[in-house]
Amino acid sequence: MATIRDVAKTAGVSIATVSRVFNGNTAVNEDTALQVWAAASALDYWPNGAARSLTTNRTSTLGVLLPDLYGDFFSEVIRGIDQLAKREKYQTLVSGSHASVEDVLAATRAMRGRIDGLVMMAPDSITVESVARIRRRLPVVLISPPFAVDGCSSVSIASFSGARAAVAHLVGLGHREIAMVAGPAGNVDAEERLRGYRRGLLEAGIQPRDEFVVQGDFRESSGYAAAAALLDRRPRPTAVFAANDCMAIGLMSALGNAGLSVPHDVAVVGFDNITMAQYMRPPLTTVHVDAYALGQKAVRLMLDTLADPEGGKVTVQTIDVILKVRSSCGARPAVATNTPAGPETNQQR
């Protein structure tokens, strides 16, 4: 493995000159530079990243911490992060499945000295204190955080307004008995969506009932299970809003098995607009979340923080969501035409 010294010797210059050629900020004689390039190329030399970050105190790497790497949603977030980071000449050190606070702290410790900043979607159980502690050593940007942290920019999903819009839409279609499959307790977005659901009802002059809210965990199986509970309720709900698409899909599956037709017997609305949503029969009406933009915005905020060291400028952003009306809510005929190719998806492989 050739080092800067080897290149210097081959090119007949000092290591300082080689360094200057590779960094390009200080003037170097053109001929000299050419010789250095030639030597470097002959030896297949490229500066060692670790050594470089040791002196410069910069790594050109962003840490990314996610609770999971599973499924459409996170996959898109990562893609957004990776793409912008790459464009800005940053690498991404990714780590998934951090269930506990201890996990998160261990992961950030392991990253110490390897990253310039941390983009984090923390587990629900995270505490302000832990994040503040990480923030003391590193710029941190939070995705969908349960609380504000001094010095941390963050980007959230407009869960509240999305849920409210979903409910308002159902109300507009004539529904009064609207149930909800909620997400896991402690999860910010789950709670915001629940809050939005209640607000939506109130705004329509409908009193929310506790027995119309069934607790789920964002997974399909919990949506499936929720159906049984909801079908027992009297009066029986004529519409169900699920806190995410996976649960909505499980719910629809269970409703179908119970011999009920969606949306005729029960209307269903989800949240997230994962790729699958449009392929359901009937296609799922849902609240669209641009996960790719979410990832991109997080990186953008990180770059801002990095550019303005200790500037203390903290930005709190929200990703807007929009109701994507398909057939599962009954607004359009249940027998939908097949989606034409292209417009809604272009997944590869």
Partner DNA sequence: GTGCGCCATGTAAACGGTTTCATAAATTCA
Partner DNA sequence: TGAATTTATGAAACCGTTTACATGGCGCAC
In the bound state with its own copies, the residue whose beta carbon lies nearer, of 171 and 224, is 224
Q: Exposure of 37 by Cβ count < 10 A (0-12 exposed, 13-18 middle, 19+ buried)?
A: middle
Point out which span in 3-11, 66-74, 152-160, 252-260 binds DNA (CB under 7 A): 3-11
Task: Determine, following the binding rule CB under 8 A, whether residue 241 of this chain makes contact with its own copies.
Answer: no
Q: Does the protein bind DNA through residue 5 (CB under 7 A)?
A: yes
Residue in 38, 42, 51, 316 binding DNA, rule: CB under 7 A: 51
CB 278 within 8 A of CB 344: yes
Q: Report, in Å, the least distance between residue 52 CB and DNA.
A: 4
Residue number with CB closer to its own copies (142 or 171): 142
CB of 71 or CB of 208, closer to its own copies: 71
Rule CB under 7 A: say whether 47 interacts with DNA: yes
| 6 near its own copies, judged by CB under 8 A | no
d(CA 36, CA 11): 5
Widest pairwise Cα distance in the chain: 88
Q: How many residues touch its own copies (CB under 8 A)?
A: 77
d(CA 268, CA 147): 31
C-beta of 51: minimal distance to DNA in Å?
Answer: 3
Q: How many CB atoms lie within 10 A of CB 109?
A: 10
- Regarding 16 and contact with DNA (CB under 7 A), the answer is yes
For its own copies, the binding residues in 83-112 under the rule CB under 8 A are: 83, 86, 91-97, 109-112
Q: DSSP of 8-35, one letter per residue?
A: HHHHTS-HHHHHHHHH--S---HHHHHH
Query: What are 193's two structure tokens?
Result: 């969506």
Among 48, 100, 257, 261, binds DNA (CB under 7 A): 48
Closest contact distance (angstroms) between CB of 246 and its own copies is 5
CA-only gyration radius of the chain, Å:
26
CA 148 – CA 153 distance, rounded (Å): 8
Under a CB-based contact definition with an 8 Å cutoff, are residues 214 and 230 in contact?
A: yes
Does position 56 interact with DNA (CB under 7 A)? The reply is yes
Please, what is the minimum distance in Å from the beta carbon of residue 138 to DNA? 14
Give 79's contacts (C-beta < 8 A, 6+ positions apart). 292, 295
Binding positions for DNA, rule: CB under 7 A: 1, 3-5, 12-20, 22-23, 25-29, 31-33, 45-48, 51-52, 54-57, 113
